[in-house]
Amino acid sequence: MGFTDKQEALVKDSWEFMKQDIPQLSLRFFSLILEIAPAAKNMFSFLKDSDELPQNNPKLKAHAVKVFKMTCESAIQLRKKGEVVVGETTLKYLGSIHLQKGVADPHFEVVKEALLRTVEEAMGKKWNNEMKEAWAEAYDQLAAAIKAEMHAEA
């Protein structure tokens, strides 16, 4: 499905704004993931052994930033080409790392919900339904590409 210039801009502009505070964004994103699915905790090496979210943990930040950034890149590709294009090796790597860590399809819904709520809270009054739809579509396409790779490998 094609993506409009406006949808791309909604995702890009909100990411530009949100990335000014990565520590806050990544903590909030992970606390929402754990709120929605407490069991997800055991999948993340950096969360396993502690009762609270580690502040400023580089791995926690890295996963949060990657999910947001790659969703944003997915939006750009959707507008340009009408489909998600992630470099071949990256997609293969993404498929195998998630398979290896025990991630399954329903987890992608959890992360989607957490991502949308994080954007909603960060954007405050600027949040609207169009912005939500744009992030949701960009994420869904990216998640579908990763899941397809996981299924191909499993």
Nearest-CB residue for ligand HEM: 45
Q: Minimum distance from CB of 152 to ligand HEM (Å)?
A: 16
Task: Verify binding: residue 142, ligand HEM, rule CB under 6 A.
Answer: yes
Task: Verify binding: residue 129, ligand HEM, rule CB under 6 A.
Answer: no
Residue 141 CA to residue 63 CA, distance in Å, equals: 18
Residue with token string 């398979």: 99
Task: Verify binding: residue 111, ligand HEM, rule CB under 6 A.
Answer: yes
Task: Verify binding: residue 40, ligand HEM, rule CB under 6 A.
Answer: yes
Concatenate the DSSP letters of all residues of 17-73 into one string: HHGGGHHHHHHHHHHHHHHH-GGGGGGSTTTTT-SSPPTT-HHHHHHHHHHHHHHHH
Task: Verify binding: residue 84, ligand HEM, rule CB under 6 A.
Answer: no
Q: Which is nearer to ligand HEM, 89 or 124 (CB)?
A: 89
Q: Which residues make Cβ contacts (< 8 Å) with residue 91, sequence separation at least 6?
A: 145, 146, 149
Q: Which residues bind ligand HEM (CB under 6 A)?
A: 40, 43-46, 59, 62-63, 66-67, 70, 94, 97-98, 101, 103, 107-108, 110-111, 142-143, 146
